[in-house]
């Protein structure tokens, strides 16, 4: 499962790292981090998808959140016995302390 999370997170880190560096034109001398290339890439994606290029980062962010929730759901399903035991132990500990009269 760690490998799946790593394979999911690595491209996201690369994309969002490139996005924010190129958005703010922090290019360190590399053309691929320039604002001109940033605008060109989103203009091309906008033309291919038929949407305004300004909407694409929000669409990508929504997809990232959905994918993250989906992966978290898979992880929780695989660990449901351990999570259920933790919830039961926490609930019992809370209610045992609440039912004990304080002296």
Each residue's pLDDT tens digit, 50-91: 999 999 999 999 999 999 999 999 999 999 999 999 999 999
Range of the domain at 52: 2-99
Q: Summarize pLDDT for 23-33 with one digit per residue, the tens.
A: 999 989 889 99
What distance lies between CA 28 and its chain's CA centroid?
A: 26
**What is the value of pTM for the model shown?**
0.76
Compute the distance between CA of residue 28 and CA of residue 67 in angstroms, rounded to an integer. Answer: 31
Compute the distance between CA of residue 37 and CA of residue 46 in angstroms, rounded to an integer. Answer: 14
User: How many domains does the chain contain in total?
Assistant: 1
Consecutive H or E run containing 41: helix 35-49
Q: What is the dihedral of CA 74, 9, 36, 29, to 10 degrees?
A: 180
Residue whose pair of structure tokens reads 């760690």 in the numeric block:
2
Compute the distance between CA of residue 88 and CA of residue 66 in angstroms, rounded to an integer. Answer: 28
> What's the rounded mean pLDDT across residues 13-35?
93
């Amino acid at each position: 499962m760690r490998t799946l999370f790593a394979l999911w997170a690595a491209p996201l880190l690369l994309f969002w790292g490139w996005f924010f560096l190129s958005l703010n034109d922090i290019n360190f001398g590399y053309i691929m981090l320039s604002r001109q290339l940033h605008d060109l890439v989103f203009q091309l994606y906008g033309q291919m998808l038929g949407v305004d290029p300004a909407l694409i980062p929000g669409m990508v962010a929504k997809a990232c959140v959905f994918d993250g929730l989906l992966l978290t759901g898979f992880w929780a399903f695989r660990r449901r016995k351990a999570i259920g035991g933790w919830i039961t132990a926490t609930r019992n500990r809370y209610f045992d302390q609440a039912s004990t009269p304080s002296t």
